[in-house]
Amino acid sequence: MNEKTRLGVIFGGRSGEHEVSLASARSVLSVLDPEKYEVIEIGISHEGEWWSGKNALKHFEAGDIGSLYRVVLLPEPGKAVLYKRLISVKEETLLPIITLDVIFPVLHGTFGEDGTLQGLLELADIAFVGAGVLGSSVGMDKGLFKEVMRSQNIPIVDWIICTKKEIEKILDAVILRAEKLGNYPLFVKPANLGSSVGISKCKNRSDLGEGLQEAARFDRRILVEKGVNAREIEISVLGNEDPQVSLPGEVRPSDEFYSYRAKYIDGKSELLIPAHLNPQQIKKIQTIALQTYRAIDCAGMARIDFLMDKENGNLFVNEVNTIPGFTSISMYPKLWEASGLPYSKLVDRLVDLGLERKQERDQIERKFNRS
């Protein structure tokens, strides 16, 4: 009888997307086959503390983690051991709990989707689902991502990057620079956050000033980009060296744009799966999505978001999500389901891809013999 795969599912995190992560983790955990996986739930608090224990996710959702225990994963290769922290007044002891085979980070935003956690997991030499340090960090920072897209001649909307310090000290100058992008509306976004947290659609100079200050609450790098009267098209990508693409879908937000409220609160946004597009448009979107995926060295999964100009049909890559939402209403799994891959099989495939990528890393020589 085959042994179960020891799978650690990490959720929560030090980000404005903490609650979204909990919802995604709930969906992932619900489809994991107990005959195939030995699952250990690991929650990261807003303060960055790692906690585990029976039904850890339920405790995080209830805001009551007192009955859980602190855990730690050391950045040392060869063991991939999760330790329980036994903390007393005089000393701290680490007690081995389990040796993990693979980790599924169901984290969104900073300290989870941006390459920081991926760096820890690579130092620990453990298999994990999703992109590595490079793909995660480039995909996370919207400004750097656009620079890479421009270098690859992949179409993007014009933008500028400013900093929190500039907004605090020379706000008027930042506004003038942003207005050179073109007519209002302009969109302001924290460069390193998702789920539409901190995003503002600015219709005039007053809105822009307020939007810049709002975004600066969540990041030290802020992106301003030209507004486009666009359809919002999304597509899912799955794979490592030979990625596959799903059918595209379209979001029709209940708000003026796909805001946090429209995504997670009012329940009124409409998802069209598949999107109403002709075969040529679908092929073009799929081709650009694969180019985008490969350009930043993605692995495992990503959702690529497009803007399609309603007037002329021009396409622009808006952003990439290397750990897309996994809730029951999230576009990433819904697109794969429409493309013939059900949710449970998608999660199994992602775990397999994480293990495959670890095998590829293991083949790389780490020593150089000069003789």
User: Where do we find the tokens 């060295």?
Assistant: 297
Token digits of residue 29 = 């955990």
Residue 250: alpha-carbon gap to chain centroid: 19
Q: Which domains does the chain have, with CATH numbers?
A: 5-128 (3.40.50.20), 139-155+229-359 (3.30.470.20), 159-226 (3.30.1490.20)
Q: Between 348 and 66, whose confidence is greater?
A: 348
CA atoms within 13 A on the CB side of 111: 20
Residue 306: alpha-carbon gap to chain centroid: 16
Dihedrals phi, psi of 220, to nearest 5 degrees: -90, -10
Q: Describe the crossing of helices 116-123 and 133-140 by its angle, rounded to 10 degrees.
A: 170
Q: Which of 45-54, 63-72, 190-199, 272-281 has the lowest mean pLDDT?
A: 190-199
Distances (CA, A) of 272 to 69, 232, 269, 330, 335: 43, 10, 10, 12, 10
Please report which helix (H) or strand (E) contains residue 325, including its range: none
pTM: 0.91
Q: Between 348 and 328, whose confidence is greater?
A: 348
Q: CA-CA distance, 138 to 124, in Å (whole number)?
A: 22
Query: Is residue 297's pLDDT more than 60?
Result: yes
Interior/surface letters 292-328, b for 16+ CB within 10 angstroms, e for the rest: bbebbebbbbbbbbbbbeeeeeebbbbbbbbbbbbbe
Token digits of residue 201 = 């659609």
Query: Is residue 262's pLDDT more than 60?
Result: no
Query: Is residue 38's pLDDT more than 60?
Result: yes
What confidence tens digit (pLDDT) does each residue in 93-121 have? 999 999 999 999 999 988 999 999 999 99
Distances (CA, A) of 117 to 128, 143, 237, 352, 361: 10, 21, 21, 19, 17
Judged by DSSP in three states, 203 sits in coil
298 touches 276 (CB < 8 A): no
Token digits of residue 332 = 């990433």
Q: Which of 3-12, 230-239, 266-275, 335-344 has the lowest mean pLDDT?
A: 266-275
How does strand 92-99 pair with strand 221-226?
A: unpaired
